[in-house]
Chain A
Amino acid sequence: MRPSDIAFRLYLVALFTFVFLPILTSMVFSLNSDRFPTVPLGEFTTHWYKTAFSRPEVWTAFGNSLIVAVCAAALSTALGFVTAYTDFRYGFRFKPAYLALALLPPTIPLVIMGLAMLAWLGRLGISGTLSGIVVAHTVMGAPFAMAICRLRLSQMDPALEAAAWNLGASQWRAMRAVVIPFCLPALISAYCLTAAVSFDEFIVAWFVSGLNKTVPVMILEILQGNVDPQINAIGTVVFLTSMALVIVAQLLILRKTNA
């Protein structure tokens, strides 16, 4: 190994440390007795978890987050899939504009999405409801779902669908018997990833949620008060949930594809 290789490796380790340090410390501090943690650490405790999860509003927030994530992920995945299929199968005028519409939402700053959604959903009368958050998260999640499904479709032999027609399947039947089974890993992957996006999103949710707070919105509001290690406890649960979802999502698309 060249000396420069060692330097590069050390650099990589430093970079990964920077990226993962906040996640790890949050987990460590959630089990540490100090209110203002420092080095050396205090004693081991599960106190913060007990305090946090004895509050009914924490459970309500987790319930809200779960409902929103389950619904928004389903809608995002459906929307992402039909869009990816359209891109895969058809060429038409204004397709670049169509694709821009599909992929643009993540480039709009969340604060702006929040403001625009707040005004718009208010007009529609669903501001302050969980449905409002679901709608907003679907807009934000669909592009990710679309990207995952499109990637999978690009691995599909275009003759596969035609082969189904050739063997007597109508277009609808071929969709059900061939395209969807082929894309199934990507659909599950997209579902997990968009659930994670929804589960973690707090700015737009904060704008439109009203009294129906999701977990990150609750964290945001606790943060505006004082330093409170309960956040580490709740945050650790949030980390583990979204990390699990993102890891499953990735494993499903990276899995040896037998196409």
Chain B
Amino acid sequence: MTDTDPLVRFSGVRKTYGTFEAVKHLDLDIGRGEFVAIMGPSGCGKTTTLRMLAGLEEPTAGEITIDGKRMNEVSAHDRDTPLVWQSLALFPFLNVKENVEFGLKMRGVSKPDRHGRAMLWLERLGLKGFETRRIDQLSGGQRQRVALARSLVTEPRMLLLDEPLSALDAHLVIRMQGVLTRLQKELGITFVYVTHSQSEAFAMADRVVIMGHGEIAQIGKPQEIFRAPKNRFVAEFVGRNNILPGKTPGQEIVVAADRMQVSASDPGEGALPAEFLSEEFAGTGIICYFEGPEGVELKAQVTEDQLENLAPEPGQRFWLTWAPGAAHVMAGT
């Protein structure tokens, strides 16, 4: 076993519930110290994948190995794969410190040792002074950190996170993203992070796995996935992409909304005529929606100044253009 071998390997993993195929076929390696985000719409199999890794579900077929060791038959409680739950699943009848100590207690760690390690992690996550608080006396962000401390106190080699930030307010999400990336770098352990939120995945992960219909749709660095979606499913899921017919039949190209230029007069060759529909204020700019040839919906991101200059009216005709380098040709469908 060397450090370059993957920590986790899914090979040909399938999971069915009755006739429903939650995961169809999964081959995936996760490296040591890597921050991997598994992303996809609900029902794509991402949570099932995570639960199989934690031993909460058993694969119907295929094999999961950790450190080269087959894990399929290992029960959840014999694995070292702590999970941060979407609901956090903190024990409401225990106080903060007792929650953090839980995993150590189950592993038979002595009381003084438990206390020391729990206090260390509480301090590390800025929860000093909260040891004896009840869970319902904590804020959302504090609970989040208790859940992290509870999972990390056993010093695992990997941490699983199932949409852990979905219940938080927007401003806390950004803060917790910082906490998580910093922790992951400091500890050097593997994070497997399941989310449906692009911004979370792209902001934190080294590598993003996009899943759809129980299969992997694309694996890559965030930038790669954003700029070069492999197929229509990824392009649509990532959003703010224009999917256009390519030069040869059956081929499709994709142009990101922020690379689309809008002009009020026909600039000539290659420009797409489109009728203005509406605009939407998004945090980073304004997205204008158009109806292009054959009813295709087109998006272009503009600045506020640009919008003022264009002063679009619904139904008004514009022309959309893009730089040759901005278009990405998709491989499959």
Contact = CB atoms under 8 A, between A and B. Distances in A.
Interface of A: 157, 159-160, 162-171, 173-174, 177-178, 181-182, 184, 258-259
Nearest to B160: A166
Nearest to A181: B93
A230 B105 CA distance: 57
5 contacts: A159-B85, A162-B85, A177-B102, A181-B93, A258-B135
A169 B92 contact: no
Contacts of B128: none
Interface of B: 54-56, 75-78, 81-83, 85-87, 89, 91-94, 102-103, 105-107, 134-136, 150-151, 154
Contacts of A163: 83, 85, 89, 91
A170 B77 contact: yes
Contacts of B86: 159
Contacts of B83: 163, 166
Contacts of B92: 182, 258-259
Contact of B82 (A157, A167, A182, A259): A167
Contact of B106 (A173, A181, A182, A258): A173
A165 B85 CA distance: 13
* Most interface-central of B54, B89, B134 (chain A CB within 10 A): B89
B93 A184 contact: yes
B84 to A, nearest CB: 10
Nearest to A156: B92
A168 B156 CA distance: 12
A3 to B, nearest CB: 44
B208 to A, nearest CB: 24
A39 B156 CA distance: 79
B6 to A, nearest CB: 22
A166 B93 contact: no
Contacts of B75: 165, 170
Nearest to A173: B106
Given A167-B102, A169-B77, A173-B106, A157 B89 contact: yes
A165 to B, nearest CB: 4
Nearest to A163: B89
Contact of A166 (B81, B91, B107): B81
A145 to B, nearest CB: 20
Contacts of B85: 159, 162-163
B82 A166 contact: yes
B105 to A, nearest CB: 8
A181 to B, nearest CB: 5
B159 to A, nearest CB: 11
Given A167-B150, A182-B92, A184-B93, A162 B56 contact: yes
Given A162-B56, A167-B77, 18 more contacts: A159-B86, A160-B91, A163-B83, A163-B89, A163-B91, A165-B55, A166-B76, A166-B82, A167-B151, A167-B154, A170-B77, A171-B77, A173-B106, A177-B105, A182-B92, A182-B93, A258-B134, A258-B135
A258 B89 contact: no
A171 B105 CA distance: 15
A12 to B, nearest CB: 35
What 3 A-B pairs come out closest when comparing CB atoms? A168-B106, A163-B89, A167-B103
